[in-house]
Amino acid sequence: MTFINQLATSEGRSVTLRGWVANKRSSKGLVFIMLRDGSGLCQCVADASNLTQEVFSLADKLTQESSVEIVGTVNRDERQVGGYEIQVSDLRIYQLARDYPITKKAHGIEFLMDNRHLWLRSRRQWAIMRIRNQIIQAIHRFFQERGFVQMDSPIFTGNAAEGTTTLFETDFYDEKAYLAQTGQLYGEAMAMAMGLIYTFGPTFRAEKSKTRRHLSEFWMIEPEMAFYDLDMCMDLIEEFLRYVVEAVLATCPSELELLERDVEKLEHVRKPFARLTYTDAVKIIRGEKDVNGRNSLKTLENDLDELRQRIEDMQAEVEEREAKIKTPGLKKGEINFNLNKIARLKNELKDLEESAKNIPQWLESARAFEHGNDFGGSDETVLTRLFDTPVIVYNWPADIKAFYMKRANDSSFVKGVDVLAPEGYGEIVGGSEREENLELLTQRIQEEGLPMEAFEWYLDLRRYGSVPHSGFGLGLERLVAWICKLPHVRETIPFPRMYGRLFP
């Protein structure tokens, strides 16, 4: 058996492929089968003139997503996807699929989500999952190459770490337990044993609202480093993000192309990232401070003008194509092509129109932003629009950050850091230097009204050889969404779990 992505090594020879029919069309004694086998796509041509009647009729009756084995000769053909074509010599059907629900026509997102178990077979989803896989590989490589030990933190936990409002409560043999919001506290214990560690596991947050960046179950990578201060931590984050993005650019060019990802935008990670204090970031958001001669409020106003122009142009294109499909004698293929294009344009239009509605609101909230508040999604967008690299924001007001963050010299601030991805993606990393002082940490736990007994073990880390240490958490799905430039995190994980979605 050969895989489609290995056809180059079998040029001119006969191979056996196994897979599914992504698509089929017939014309005058020829059947063109678009075969997908998970590794790639390849056109297979069944020609009635050199096949038995029996084999040809099998090819002829294939339906979308039927499973097959195809034997045939590999021919180089630049014009075909993947650069090869198979001349079919034999064919066997595993199963003839019934009417497959996902067709070439444009489907609504809820329908696709209901059919997620099938939707995963579609080309875009396939590309996203392959990129996700490469990102995961790169993450492990990065840390392993630097001597970090991967250690797993528990999912059943007895204490909250990231605020009590997003806890999933569960029953652990009649004891109250929570699904882990983070592995961090355990990560700190493990770093005191191993020096440099990272966890990579599922984390859970009850986010009772539908947004494009929140999942109820998401995967987090959390390195924790003994003897690292905040600056060292920020350097590591920057090196890490650069490494992972570069790895995807190197390993997934065809997947990125299939997603029509503008890779030049990603290549900006090679430049030093912007680094700002929270206080400077606030000035920039409010339009009181420019960045490289650009002002946040003026940039937004220009964006709005541009957006309105694009909407007009797009509407014109839709009308043009709608007129075109009414042309008498137009080929079916061309009609379908235009219909698809129209559906995609209309979808895009909906997004653009929403942004056009949002921008005036963003402007208002940017002008009114108060120092001390946490950034909302729109504030992050307003800020990151002014940069083409990720933006590292550090030194946050203590009141809006977690209890474990170390106080800055000005004790109303903490040594916390958020990294915001460009192109409107916003926060992908949150981290900090940790409070290593027993008394201060105890006080913070009390102030938060957290149950002290549950944190005794954590406080032990400050009783026995406490050291300065830092760490951060990267949300895998948010990173995938940015790298693939997806409008929503629901497409970044095989089976998303979020408010209103438990099936399939």
Q: Which residues bind ligand 4AD (CB under 6 A)?
A: 162, 182, 184, 205, 207, 214-215, 218, 220, 222, 427-432, 471-473, 475, 477-478, 489
Q: What are the distances in angstroms from CA 267 to CA 133, 157, 262, 423?
A: 20, 40, 9, 13
- If the CB atoms of residues 278 and 472 are measured against ligand 4AD, the closer one turns out to be 472
- If the CB atoms of residues 218 and 394 are measured against ligand 4AD, the closer one turns out to be 218
| Binding of residue 430 to Mg ion (CB under 5 A) | yes
Euclidean distance between CA atoms 218 and 475, whole angstroms = 7
Which residues inside 257-286 make contact with Mg ion, applying CB under 5 A?
Answer: none
- Residue 429's binding partner out of ligand 4AD, Mg ion, none, with CB under 5 to 8 Å set by partner kind: ligand 4AD
To the nearest whole angstrom, how small is the minimum distance from the Cβ of residue 249 to ligand 4AD?
Answer: 21
Q: Are 144 and 137 in contact (CB under 8 A)?
A: no
To the nearest whole angstrom, how small is the minimum distance from the Cβ of residue 431 to Mg ion?
Answer: 9
- Residue 19's binding partner out of Mg ion, ligand 4AD, none, with CB under 5 to 8 Å set by partner kind: none
Residue 404: strand, helix, or coil: coil
To the nearest whole angstrom, how small is the minimum distance from the Cβ of residue 312 to Mg ion?
Answer: 38
To the nearest whole angstrom, how small is the minimum distance from the Cβ of residue 473 to Mg ion?
Answer: 8
To the nearest whole angstrom, how small is the minimum distance from the Cβ of residue 188 to ligand 4AD?
Answer: 9
Two tokens at 171? 């029953």
User: How many beta carbons lie within 10 A of that of residue 66, not counting itself?
Assistant: 20
- If the CB atoms of residues 182 and 389 are measured against ligand 4AD, the closer one turns out to be 182
To the nearest whole angstrom, how small is the minimum distance from the Cβ of residue 78 to ligand 4AD?
Answer: 41
Beta strand residue intervals within 289-368, DSSP E: none
- If the CB atoms of residues 342 and 479 are measured against Mg ion, the closer one turns out to be 479
- Residue 473's binding partner out of ligand 4AD, Mg ion, none, with CB under 5 to 8 Å set by partner kind: ligand 4AD
Q: Are 456 and 427 in contact (CB under 8 A)?
A: no
To the nearest whole angstrom, how small is the minimum distance from the Cβ of residue 183 to Mg ion?
Answer: 15
Contacts of 30-38 with CB under 8 Å at 24 or more apart are: 31/56, 31/59, 31/60, 31/62, 33/59, 33/62, 33/68, 33/70, 33/88, 34/81, 35/4, 35/68, 35/70, 35/86, 36/4, 36/121, 36/126, 37/3, 37/4, 38/3, 38/126
- Residue 207's binding partner out of ligand 4AD, Mg ion, none, with CB under 5 to 8 Å set by partner kind: ligand 4AD
What are the residues whose beta carbons fall under 8 Å from the beta carbon of 354, sequence distance 6 or more?
A: none
Q: What is the distance of C-alpha 94 from the center of its chain?
A: 34
Give the helix/strand (H/E) hosting 76. Answer: strand 67-76
- Residue 218's binding partner out of ligand 4AD, Mg ion, none, with CB under 5 to 8 Å set by partner kind: ligand 4AD
To the nearest whole angstrom, how small is the minimum distance from the Cβ of residue 224 to ligand 4AD?
Answer: 7
Residue 295: strand, helix, or coil: coil
- Residue 205's binding partner out of ligand 4AD, Mg ion, none, with CB under 5 to 8 Å set by partner kind: ligand 4AD
| Binding of residue 475 to Mg ion (CB under 5 A) | no
Q: What are the distances in angstroms from CA 290 to CA 287, 390, 457?
A: 7, 17, 47
| Binding of residue 431 to Mg ion (CB under 5 A) | no
Site of interaction with Mg ion (CB under 5 A): 430
